Amino acid sequence: MDSFLPLLWDLLFPVRCVSCRAPGSWWCEVCRKKSELIRRNPCPNCASRKAVHDCPKSLGLDGIAALGFYHDPRLRSVLHALKYKGATVVMSAVEERLGEWAEERLDIWPWSGLSNLAIQPAIGAPHSVRRRGFDQAHLLSCVVNRVLIPWAAPLDILTRTDSLEPQARLDVGDVRRANVAGSFGLEPGASVPPNILLVDDVLTSGATLDEAARVLRAAGAEKIYALVLAIGA
Ligand SMILES: [Zn+2]
Ligand SMILES: [Zn+2]
């Protein structure tokens, strides 16, 4: 009987790839391997991937590492499953892809050479964390810490209040920036280390990471980096 129930569950709700619906795994090997990896670090000032570009210097970061592109349907399916369907089971496949990314990178990590680094999730707004029952930035931060940078210290000093409007309903640029402003804060009495890696799922306008970095820098952080799963709207 004990082995019958899981079998019945699998029959009723078969595990399927969140991207191509192939049975057998949450993110099949074909989709995982076909999701394009970013092998060079984007510009820390504007997140552009072009070596030569007209840089608006809109971000206050010291370096960015991004796994892939938001416009890549295979990676986007995973991000959507994680964010909107609560499918945290896809994290094991993400973990695998992060390992492959580390092996295939052409650039050194932006934080390379530092002897100390703390990993801080760019925590989600309280209303989305309540709705989903988990914070994907937090989950991701733990995986990044374990798989990519085991020597870094986990950090949990950011607080966040709800912004006025969900980001997706607003236009990019200044409106998003104004919307996110003031939403991050620090835990009372928090001790802020000098080198911090912010982890988030997606970087679109960069307003969220920029705001988190601003708060941390104002409290004494010297170098602030970002690692995201996907870049671009
Ligand atoms: Zn697939
Ligand atoms: Zn730039």
pTM of the predicted model, to two decimals?
0.88
What is the rounded CA–CA span in Å between residue 38 and residue 91?
A: 19
Domain 36-231 of CATH type 1.10.3470: no
Q: For the chain, which residues make up each domain, given as ranges?
A: 36-231
Q: Span 33-59, mean pLDDT?
A: 93
Distance of CA 63 from the midpoint of ligand 2 (Å): 11
Ligand whose nearest atom lies closest to the CA of 55: 2
What integer pLDDT is reported at residue 222 of this predicted model?
97
223 Cα: distance to centroid of ligand 2 (angstroms): 17
Question: What does the pLDDT look like over 108-152, one tens digit per residue?
Answer: 999 999 989 999 999 999 988 888 889 999 999 999 999 999 999
Residue with tokens 């870094």: 152
Taking ligand 1, which is a single-atom ion, which protein residues have CB atoms under 5 Å away?
A: 17, 19-20, 22, 28, 31
Whole-number Å distance between alpha carbons of 142 and 121: 8
Distance 84 CA to ligand 2 centre (A): 31
Distance 163 CA to ligand 2 centre (A): 27
Mean pLDDT of 98-102: 95
Average pLDDT over residues 15-43: 94
Distance 51 CA to ligand 2 centre (A): 8
Torsion of CA 47, 50, 52, 58, to 10 degrees: -10
Q: Which residue has better confidence, 176 or 200?
A: 200
Question: Angle at which helices 91-104 and 73-84 pack, to 10 degrees?
Answer: 140
205 CA distance to ligand 2 centroid (A)?
13
Which ligand is the nearest neighbour of the Cα of 20?
1
